[in-house]
Structure 1
Amino acid sequence: MSYRFIELSVTDQVAWLTMNRPDVHNAFDDHMIAELLDALAAVDRNDDVRVLVLRSNGNNFSAGADLSWMRSMADKNYDENVADATELSRLMQRLDELSKPSIALVQGAAFGGAVGLAACCDVALAEAGASFCLSEVKIGLIPAVISPYVMRAMGTRQARRYMLSAERFDASVAQQFGLVHEVVDNLDQAAERLIKQFLGNSPAAVSAAKQLIKDLDQQPLDEQTRRTTIERIAEIRVSDEGQEGLSAFLEKRTPNWKQG
């Protein structure tokens, strides 16, 4: 697929996925969602990619849903709206379940669905001037599709306030609530530091750890959960990268997945 509203490039095992509609503050519509879905699928399939960075061009990360797109949805019937929302839901799920670690770089405003994108990434970094808003109730809607991811990131208590009030909150508050991991002066420098950290780790182990987190999230600490963790560590220990990592550690050498 050729892209109109996003850019995708791969450099040194890092996929840079950039939302590129600065004229509308990177608001997304059905076309941009389709492009993002395609790009994420390509990243997941590409064995040369070990980290994804999600970012945007312009002054703002994303204003959320495009106004023209929302107007068109108002003219659609229930079934058409279900089909439309399904694609946005698929986007959130695909980003959330990506097999490679993901980093969101947030500048300026992140409104509505853009908060969901940040919540779906493994790490979210924000500039000090960034701001966030779950603004849907202001126009008679609800942040339904993104709500599971936002509530998981912020916690139910804080989500109740900001999903109901539609208050705007700054990056420091977002960090306090867990939506953002770090507030930084320079997004690119902070991203490079994290990328270096990710690239130093076993690709197979990182992917397995992501799957483990997904499978255990919100599960009771019962016998089945314990059994799952026992089996997962046994599987990774006998894998090729598990064997290489242990050997490298014991032999005091660099494992073969590290660059340089």
Structure 2
Amino acid sequence: MTWQTLDVRRDPRGVVHVTLNTPDRRNVLSAAMIAELTEFARRMAEERGTRAVVLSGAGSTFCAGGDLAWMKAQIEADRPQRLVEARKLAEMLQALNTLPVPLIGRLHGGAFGGGVGMACVCDVAVAARGTKFCFSETRLGIIPATIGPYVLARMGEGRARRVFMSARVFEADEAETLGLVSRVVDAADLDAAIEAEVAPYLATAPGAVAAAKSLARSLGPRIDASVIDDSITRLADIWEAEEARLGIQAFLDKRPPPWG
């Protein structure tokens, strides 16, 4: 397959490197990228011989979150279409979350909104020092709906509530304290840190790893069809609100929203 928004490479060990590859747009989650990430996850779930997947972003930023032009289109759509598009995003996150191989996040530059959600579906995420994080949704008049189940599973409610609603930008060291990332390293050491996360899996039985990951998910917070459906409904609901229309339009117009 020829990927339009991703760069996918497999090394001789069976380690797959998938890179969000629209650096000129700061790797925002466009409709095309959502579709390709879903297809990538489907292929990885079916493909034998993969030992681990490393998720990274090209250019200066890991992922700047959702594509605001795509979100504006949902505000202007009817409710059935909003639900369809929200489900595509939710299903992409769930497909990555349930990969039967380890998913290791390589974060640098920034992870905003949906980009934080992408970090949270990774089994482990390592960030370069200086990486900035933000649940930016409420600044735009929306909420971190479809990423919410994965964020809460990673951080726990108490820690999540410190940053989930405020749209406050925080640094990588705080992200480590909050449990979003497992390690923070100097940028020059990031590749070595990722390799240190990959290496142990090369000595493990792939089937046992997949079964252990499935067990861990079953014992953790429940993220089933009803939870995902609720997150989809909440996102569609917020897209219908006046605040979302005003906030997203203000961002696209490069002016402050009415609330700040």
TM over 0.5: yes
Matches within 5 A, 1:176-215: 176-185=177-186, 186-215=189-218
SS at match of 1:55: strand
- Quick check: 1:141 aligned with 2:142? yes
| CA displacement at 1:74 relative to structure 2 | 1.7
CA distance in 2, matches of 1:204, 1:158: 33
Matches within 5 A, 1:17-56: 17-56=18-57
Q: Does the CA contact (< 8 Å) of 2:101 and 2:210 recur in 1?
A: yes
Q: Does the CA contact (< 8 Å) of 1:126 and 1:184 recur in 2?
A: yes
- Read off the aligned partner of 1:10 and give its amino acid letter: R
| CA displacement at 1:137 relative to structure 2 | 0.6
Aligned to 1:71: 72
| CA displacement at 1:5 relative to structure 2 | 0.8
Q: Does the CA contact (< 8 Å) of 2:153 and 2:221 recur in 1?
A: no
Aligned to 1:88: 89
In percent, how many aligned pairs have the same letter? 39
CA distance in 2, matches of 1:88, 1:2: 21
C-alpha distance after superposition, 1:55-93 (max 9, x if no partner): 011010010011221221221111111100101101111
CA distance in 2, matches of 1:137, 1:122: 26
| CA displacement at 1:161 relative to structure 2 | 2.6
- Read off the aligned partner of 2:197 and give its amino acid letter: L
Q: Does the CA contact (< 8 Å) of 1:15 and 1:43 recur in 2?
A: no
CA distance in 1, matches of 2:207, 2:171: 36
Q: Which runs of 5+ in 1 are unaligned?
A: 220-260
| CA displacement at 1:134 relative to structure 2 | 0.4
CA distance in 1, matches of 2:108, 2:168: 18
CA distance in 2, matches of 1:30, 1:218: 28
CA distance in 2, matches of 1:168, 1:156: 19
Q: Which runs of 5+ in 2 are unaligned?
A: 223-260
- Read off the aligned partner of 1:169 and give its amino acid letter: F
Aligned length: 219
SS at match of 1:163: coil
CA distance in 2, matches of 1:83, 1:2: 25
**Cα RMSD between the aligned structures?**
1.1
Q: Does the CA contact (< 8 Å) of 1:5 and 1:20 recur in 2?
A: yes
CA distance in 2, matches of 1:218, 1:54: 23
Q: Does the CA contact (< 8 Å) of 2:160 and 2:178 recur in 1?
A: no
CA distance in 2, matches of 1:7, 1:42: 14
Larger radius of gyration: 1
CA distance in 2, matches of 1:196, 1:163: 33
Whose relative contact order is higher, 1 or 2, with alpha carbons under 8 Å and at least 6 apart? Answer: 2
CA distance in 2, matches of 1:174, 1:4: 31
Q: Kindly report structure 1 stretches of 4+ aligned residues shifted beyond 3 Å.
A: none
| CA displacement at 1:218 relative to structure 2 | 4.0
Aligned to 1:244: none
C-alpha distance after superposition, 1:13-69 (max 9, x if no partner): 101111001001101111110011111111121111110000011010010011221
C-alpha distance after superposition, 1:141-179 (max 9, x if no partner): 000000010011111112123122111111110100111
CA distance in 2, matches of 1:158, 1:208: 29
